[in-house]
């Protein structure tokens, strides 16, 4: 069954307290060389049928209206799994 | 006056809000998220808590609840709606109020008695206060940082829609110290601090007069009740 992956990140200009906390832990444990860490979300939507244009439009809308809040986040990528269908899955 | 308090899965302060309504002289009506019936109430409260475990985003899944269809319609028709903490987050997610709430800038949950300035006394929920009045009510949140883009912030301030601002301490990194806002019509109000926890002597914040004697939150509930009586 095809899996669609949606990536959502906090807006670049906003403080990401979670990422900041991780960055602090990295530096405390001596892992230097990282100027920042940002934490986002990955959604995997497994679909029953084929990924057609109608479904693509629907996922686009779901990503923008439900999976993310445009006030605080951006949808940075939607992977419809086209390449995986042809190469790695077979 | 009958004031509905909607319980969502994970609501914590629904019964506290009902008690506040009762102490202010109103009749609380318990409403359920899964219903489509507002039972003819005269005002609505979306209470605090952690609906759906704050999954996805705070208030996001609750804002898609069955009853929210009716809440949005009623709010747009002018019914007074108060969102407290998680309820404020729901109103933002439902686009009834601008902006969003993100994790506190210091990364920690915070619980304290918080001083606020009431900046807008024209709303359905603030008319019993005086403009500029300072009140102290509990604040308890992990994701209370109010954010919006600069244009939205300017517009909110220009239209007098910043209803409450934090005083002395900005407890969560909220932009421009904003603790709560109202819609243009003044019937929909959302704030992070909890007025329903400061309504009964002995159970509120400390005051100069006595421990736990603070009842500054009562004004929210008496405002909406008095306004209804005046308009009736």
* ipTM score: 0.86
Q: Assess whether pLDDT exceeds 60 at residue B154.
A: yes
State mean pLDDT over B116-126. Answer: 98
Report the pLDDT value the prediction gives residue B232, as an integer from 0 to 100.
72
B104/A17 Cβ within 8 A: yes
- Known catalytic residues of B are 85, 194, 196
Model pLDDT, residue A81: 85
- B105-114 per-residue burial string, b: 16 or more CB within 10 A, e: under 16: beeeeeeebb
Split at pLDDT 50, 70, 90, the class of A87 is very low
In the predicted model, what is the mean pLDDT of residues B187-206?
Answer: 97
Among residues B35, B34, B30, B33, the alpha carbon closest in space to that of B18 is found at: B30
Q: Name the CATH topology of B2-231.
A: Rossmann fold (3.40.50)
CA B200 – CA B23 distance, rounded (Å): 8
DSSP H/E element including B122: none
Q: Class for domain A3-86, per CATH?
A: alpha beta
Residue numbers in A near B100 (CB within 8 A):
69, 71-72
Question: Where does the pLDDT of residue A37 fall: very low under 50, low under 70, confident under 90, or very high at 90 and above?
Answer: very high
Residue B95 has pLDDT above 80, yes or no: yes
What number of C-beta contacts closer than 8 Å exist between A and B?
38
Asked if pLDDT for residue A90 goes beyond 70, the answer is no
pLDDT band at B231 (very low <50, low <70, confident <90, very high): confident
* Residue % of chain B over a pLDDT of 70: 100
Mean predicted confidence (pLDDT) in B200-209: 96
User: Would you state the pLDDT for residue A83?
Assistant: 59
Interval A6-30 mean pLDDT = 92
Q: What angle do CA B25, B28, B31 make, to 5 degrees?
A: 165
- Statement: residue A89 has pLDDT above 70: no
Q: Give the dihedral sign, CA B50/B15/B39/B46.
A: negative
Beta strand extents in chain B (DSSP E only): 2-7, 27-32, 43-46, 81-84, 100-102, 110-118, 134-141, 145-147, 162-166, 178-182, 188-191
Q: Does A70 touch chain B (CB under 8 A)?
A: no
In this prediction, residue B230 carries a pLDDT of 84
Are the C-beta atoms of residues B126 and B219 closer than 8 Å to each other?
yes
pTM recorded for the entire structure: 0.94
Cβ of A71 within 8 Å of Cβ of B99? The answer is: yes
Q: What is the band of B121 on the pLDDT scale with cuts at 50, 70, 90?
A: very high
Q: pLDDT tens for residues B44-67?
A: 999 999 999 999 999 999 999 999
The answer to whether B193 and B116 have CB atoms below 8 angstroms apart is: yes
Mean pLDDT of chain B: 97
**pLDDT surpasses 70 at A86:** no
- CB within 8 Å: B57 and A69: yes
What sign does the dihedral B156-B158-B161-B167 (CA atoms) show?
positive
Q: Is A17 on the interface with B (CB under 8 A)?
A: yes
How confident is residue B91, by pLDDT bands cut at 50, 70 and 90? very high
Residue-level pLDDT at A1: 81
Residue A82 has pLDDT above 90, yes or no: no
């Amino acid at each position: 069954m095809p899996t669609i992956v949606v990536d959502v990140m906090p807006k670049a200009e906003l403080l990401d307290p979670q990422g900041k906390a991780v960055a602090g832990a990295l530096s405390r444990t001596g892992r230097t060389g990282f100027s920042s860490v940002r934490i986002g979300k990955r959604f995997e939507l497994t679909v029953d049928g084929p990924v057609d244009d109608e479904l693509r439009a629907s996922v686009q809308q779901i990503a923008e209206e439900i999976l993310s809040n445009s006030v605080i986040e951006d949808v940075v990528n939607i992977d419809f799994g086209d390449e995986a269908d042809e190469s790695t899955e077979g | 006056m009958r004031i509905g308090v909607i319980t969502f899965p994970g609501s914590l302060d629904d019964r506290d809000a009902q008690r506040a309504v009762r102490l202010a002289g109103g009749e609380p009506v318990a409403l359920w998220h899964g219903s489509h019936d507002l039972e003819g109430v005269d005002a609505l409260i979306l209470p605090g808590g952690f609906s759906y475990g704050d999954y996805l985003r705070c208030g996001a899944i609750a804002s898609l609840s069955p009853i929210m269809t009716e809440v949005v319609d009623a709010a747009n028709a002018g019914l007074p709606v108060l969102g407290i903490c998680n309820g404020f987050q729901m109103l933002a997610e439902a686009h009834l109020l601008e902006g969003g709430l993100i994790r506190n800038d210091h990364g920690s949950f915070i619980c304290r008695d918080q001083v606020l300035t009431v900046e807008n006394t024209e709303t359905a929920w603030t008319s019993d206060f005086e403009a500029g009045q300072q009140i102290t009510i509990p604040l308890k949140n992990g994701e209370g940082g109010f954010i919006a883009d600069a244009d939205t912030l300017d517009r909110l301030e220009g239209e007098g829609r910043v209803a409450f601002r934090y005083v002395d301490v900005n407890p969560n990194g909220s932009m421009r110290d904003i603790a709560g806002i109202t819609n243009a019509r003044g019937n929909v109000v959302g704030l992070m601090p909890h007025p329903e926890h400061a309504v009964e002597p002995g159970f509120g914040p400390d005051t100069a007069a006595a421990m736990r004697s603070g009842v500054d939150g009562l004004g929210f509930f008496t405002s909406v009740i008095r306004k209804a009586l005046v308009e009736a």
